[in-house]
Structure 1
Amino acid sequence: MITYVGLMSFTDKGLQTLKDTTKRAAAAKEAAKKTGVNIRELLWTMGECDLVCVLEAEDEQALAAFSLATAMQGNVRSHSLRAYSAKEMDKILAKIP
């Protein structure tokens, strides 16, 4: 599984129905499973981003499909960041000459 960090901000549409955000999050977790993505953690935040999540995907195409499906809902704008565990980072560092 590939790990990603998602940074999200509410759109105007998302803010208009803000009281449904936890219900939408539960629905998103179910939808994610259908595309081969697992939402490990979803947190509402204060500051530049409104939500931060940690996702695991089978492959890049799975994350892309889930991201596009989420974007079509129109409630959030997102940015995905590839994340590495310490073990993965050690393998990367071992390849540096």
Structure 2
Amino acid sequence: MRDAVALAVNTADLEGLLDLGAPGTEYTNQIDALTGLVLRGGLPMDAVAGVWEDSFGPESAAIGKPAEFAGLVEQLEKTSSRWVAHDRS
């Protein structure tokens, strides 16, 4: 589960930090928080945005990338759906 969230977050790289050469662990806090949301099945856009804003503030680079941010939320929702389906089987 956490690996799937990490892949989605790192692929999106909404802040552009990995592209700037930051280590692959740069988004660890966000990945942990988002994994918790996925496990609880709560992924409304505002909850994901809250995780991001808590980490990077209201001037986050993600604010200027609504399509990319929505894409991350979509990937997290898919991960959550797979987790819920797997957990129920």
- TM class by shorter chain equals 0.3 to 0.5
TM-score normalised according to structure 2 size = 0.37
Considering fraction of residues, name the structure with more helix: 2
